[in-house]
Structure 1
Amino acid sequence: MRKIGVFGGTLDPIHIGHTHLIVEAKRHFDLDEVIIVPAFQSPHKADRPIHESDRLKMIERATKDLDFISIDMFELEHKGKSYTYDTMCYLKEKFPNDTLYFIMGEDQFHAFDRWYKHEELLEIAQFIVLKRTMEETNITAPFLTATVPIIEVSSSEIRKRIGNDDYYSHLVHKNVFDYIKEHELYE
């Protein structure tokens, strides 16, 4: 039985904070693999992200040196808003003998009770909450937790900086920066 981490989101664009969380989750919970599942569109956001083919290429570039990562196209292929419940049901069927661990940040934990079928989700997978070292949040079972340094960066901040012709190269992987520049994304 393998331990498979699952990391989702629109990743528009993927940045160093995302890959940092993935690596820390693997380290702290001894995960065998982490599957990134890019969302077609988040159910909590009205804005449509850039085209999925561009996001997918940036994810591939950002993770090419992390041999334990794979990408699953489930949410991109099903279009529309992506619900974690549907994705986790699909992954549980795909990996019936493995244990799934959904990786989330502390911000997602605070909104968990508003997720679609959140109680049923707890029966399908384990949930890893990566806490910020400076905040006091009481995270208890069934949630697993680890305190890791968090890199404060957001995709929306990166998009805003690009639109304002401001510095952002230090917030994304070099390969992602090159892709954004080459394809003039978010301008």
Structure 2
Amino acid sequence: MAKRIGLLGGTFDPVHIGHMRSVLEVVDVLALDELRLMPCAQPLHRDKPQVSARQRFEMVHLAVEGIPLLVADARELTRDQPSYTIDILELIRTELAEDDQLFLLLGWDAFCVLPSWYRWQELLHYCHILVLQRQDVDNKLPDALCSLLATQSVNDPSAMTGPNGSIAFVWQTQLAVSATQIRQLLARGKSVRFLVPDAVLAYINAHGLYCALH
């Protein structure tokens, strides 16, 4: 039977409850066999993270520990140059069976700028795209994405068939939390309890992370 694998990349600087709630909802909606969280070593579309890739991976590993179907993927840590999403998808595809389904999770903001990504038109050759949608977004999509949605989108994410090629939106529980907010609170010496998993908070405190803005 074909497997259903999800993939969420990001800086995870740090991983927080918004990330965790999003992936759990996707696992539930699509009945995934596995969802991998993959910290980027050198992000292409964001500022340089405040802490190392190894530390961000260790926080993700702590966050998913003991949670069924969630996995921390460390493959980015071995790369010495920025990674393009298409490169990662090509690599993962070589590890899967031909009929396995691969789902790339993208936040709404990332999806809106997708045409600026390297070889973005080829992404659907390797995966389905799941856009994590919130009730409060009203960005206008670029024409290139409107055209893509007109031909490749499906209304029901659970009805996506085949190993790749479709786009669907997954409505998310709205949580007003961001990594930027968490870093700012920590830099001011404020508590971030319940904004990050307890194990992640313990790691941040033990290593003195985010204790001052840079």
Give the distance between the partners of 1:60 and 1:74, measured in 2 at CA.
13
- Report matched runs for 1:176-187 at 5 Å: 176-187=200-211
Give 1:183 shift.
1.0
Give 1:37 shift.
1.3
User: Is residue 7 of structure 1 aligned with residue 8 of structure 2?
Assistant: yes
For the structure 1 residues 52 and 136, does the alpha-carbon distance in structure 2 shift closer, same or farther, using more than 3 Å as the test?
Answer: closer
For the structure 1 residues 153 and 79, does the alpha-carbon distance in structure 2 shift closer, same or farther, using more than 3 Å as the test?
Answer: farther
Give the distance between the partners of 2:116 and 2:21, measured in 1 at CA.
26
Residue 47 of structure 1 corresponds to: 48
- Report matched runs for 1:9-28 at 5 Å: 9-28=10-29
Bigger-Rg structure (1/2): 2
Which amino acid is the alignment partner of residue 83 of structure 1? Y
After the TM superposition, which of the residue ranges 148-157 and 170-179 deviates more from structure 2? 148-157
- Report matched runs for 1:25-174 at 5 Å: 25-97=26-98, 98-135=100-137, 140=149, 141=153, 142-174=166-198
For the structure 1 residues 171 and 131, does the alpha-carbon distance in structure 2 shift closer, same or farther, using more than 3 Å as the test?
Answer: same
CA contact (8 A) 2:11 2:49 kept: no
Question: Which consecutive unaligned segments of at least 5 residues does structure 1 have?
Answer: none
TM-score, normalised via structure 2 length: 0.81
CA contact (8 A) 2:54 2:77 kept: no
Residue 175 of structure 1 corresponds to: 199
Percent identity of paired positions between Structure 1 and Structure 2: 28
Which amino acid is the alignment partner of residue 210 of structure 2? Y
CA contact (8 A) 1:10 1:38 kept: yes
Residues 26-60 of structure 1: CA deviation (Å, up to 9, x unaligned): 11112111011110021012324412222122111
CA contact (8 A) 1:13 1:58 kept: yes
Give 1:124 shift.
0.8
Which amino acid is the alignment partner of residue 107 of structure 1? D
Give 1:106 shift.
1.2
Aligned residues: 187
Give the distance between the partners of 2:55 and 2:96, measured in 1 at CA.
28
Give the distance between the partners of 1:52 and 1:96, measured in 2 at CA.
29
TM-score, normalised via structure 1 length: 0.92
What SS does structure 2 have at the residue aligned with 1:171?
Answer: coil
Question: Which consecutive unaligned segments of at least 5 residues does structure 2 have?
Answer: 154-165
Residues 83-111 of structure 1: CA deviation (Å, up to 9, x unaligned): 11111111011113311000111111111
CA contact (8 A) 1:74 1:87 kept: no
For the structure 1 residues 53 and 136, does the alpha-carbon distance in structure 2 shift closer, same or farther, using more than 3 Å as the test?
Answer: closer
After the TM superposition, which segments of 4 or more aligned residues of structure 1 sit over 6 Å from their partners?
Answer: none
Give 1:179 shift.
0.8
Give the distance between the partners of 2:41 and 2:48, measured in 1 at CA.
11
Calculate the aligned-residue CA RMSD, in Å: 1.7
